[in-house]
Amino acid sequence: MNTKNRYLLLVVGLVSVLHVTTRAAELTTQQRQIVDAVVADRIKEVQAKGLSKAALAELVKNVRKLSERKKEWHAWEPAMRIGFSVKDIRGAGVPIPDEIDAKVVADIIWQYENAYGEGNDRKYHREECARALGFIGHPDGIPTVLVSLREESGHFSWQALEGVSDTRFIPAIEKYLDFTCQQDAFPAIHCLGRMGTNGIPTLQRFLSGNDLALKRGAVEALIRIQSAVCIPILEKLRDASDKDIARKSQSGVMLIRSRIVDRVYTPSEWSSQDDARLSHLTSAALCEDEPVRSEAAVALLRIGEPTIWYLRCQLPNYSHGDTFNGAHFYVSERAASLLLRIGRPAIPALIDALCDEYEHGRQFAVDTLQKLTGQKMGADYELWSTWYLGMAKKDK
């Protein structure tokens, strides 16, 4: 058995059980005050759809209307509006209101089972209810959504499943692997990517198809699973004839190694409210408005380490142009500059960025690493990770 195969066997047999997880963290009160002083208005603007009194009143109105369980043509409208309200609320990164509970789910299921009309009218009613249940994501609604997928196979239902991770959807996805359009297939692939290792066999079936776009989506889903079990699958694609698939697979293998096998870097998970804060602060610190950018950068540096992941994600940003070392990579340059000012705590994230798919993101990481450490190892992830893990071991 050669070294590579021994390595893969070790990865699959041992390391996969050591998947790194991090509990959602929260900023301190002082850190929140620092962020909110800069971007509070923006956060409130984004969250308004989900939290404003008018939006909440509209939601309550639809909940009450739905609870009447009327069987008529317009009975699907409250369910549809509740579904889209939940989608907006989730998009704003805020908690789902208490008004959305098991009773609401039961009322939508009743509407699905008592859909008004015949033919396409009845099908449309049922699709809207199934879509609402998919957006809500309550376990009680999953059997009904599955029934919808079996009976209608409507793309409305599939679109609502991008955030679902329940393994009960695997048989339904398996049944519709011959999707007639990508509009239906991509939500199914996203759904599988959220199921962890349970979704891998079905994703492999997408990889065996002829649609290159769906293959790329399946590769991205495998990388998102972040399990060492995915490494041998991705290794086989590194020499694929399609350059995008080959490049994604190669960077994906390194990324999984960085976070699961080597454990050079594992990004923290933040509570939804603080995630929104840090996202908006980072955007402000990299924007074109100089006064806003300066104020946000000061706040970001005062907060420090919690912002590293958000800056690291901007290293491959294409905003403002596509010529490396030109005058256009403002966002990437600003992110690299701020990571440099944060200092040594940013080193693991910069090594992680050496696994990025696109060259210019890796190059910004290299430049920043060299300035921080004095080391010159190019964009070689192997050398940097070995060096860093050796340093970390000495520090212990």
Given this model, what pLDDT does residue 176 score? 75
Of 104, 115, 100, 102, whose CA–CA distance to 70 is shortest? 115
Q: What pLDDT sits at residue 7?
A: 34
Instruction: Work out the average pLDDT over 130-136.
Output: 88
Q: Give Rg (Cα) of the chain.
A: 24
Alpha carbon distance 334, 151 (integer Å): 51
The DSSP line for 196-255 is GGGGHHHHHHHHTSS-HHHHHHHHHHHHHH--TTHHHHHHTTTT-SSHHHHHHHHHHHHH
- Name the residue with higher pLDDT: 366 or 74: 366
User: What is the rounded CA–CA span in Å between residue 5 and residue 11?
Assistant: 10
Q: pLDDT confidence of 1, banded at 50, 70, 90?
A: very low
- For residue 339, pLDDT over 90 is answered with yes
Percent of all residues in the chain with a pLDDT value above 90, rounded to a whole number? 43
pLDDT category, 142, cuts 50, 70, 90?
confident
Model confidence at 257: pLDDT above 70? yes
Asked whether the predicted pLDDT for residue 23 surpasses 60, the reply is no
> pLDDT by residue (tens digit) across 208-238?
888 888 899 999 999 999 999 999 999 999 8
Q: Note the pLDDT tens digit of each residue in 277-327.
A: 899 899 889 988 888 889 999 999 999 999 999 999 999 876 544 444 444
Give yes or no for residue 259 having a pLDDT over 80: yes
* Greater pLDDT, 2 or 258: 258
Q: Name beta bridge partners: 270.
A: 25
Cβ–Cβ under 8 Å, residues 340 and 371: yes
Query: Mean pLDDT for the chain?
Result: 83
**Is the pLDDT score of 346 beyond 90?**
yes
Q: So what's the pLDDT on residue 65?
A: 92
Question: What pLDDT is stored for residue 155 in this prediction?
Answer: 54
Q: Tell me: the pLDDT tens digits for 43-57? A: 565 555 445 677 778
Asked if residue 340 has pLDDT above 50, the reply is yes
Four-way CATH pick for 52-261: 3.40.630.30, 1.10.3720.10, 3.40.50.620, 1.25.10.10: 1.25.10.10
Asked whether the predicted pLDDT for residue 188 surpasses 50, the reply is yes
Residue extents of the structural domains in the chain? 52-261, 304-395
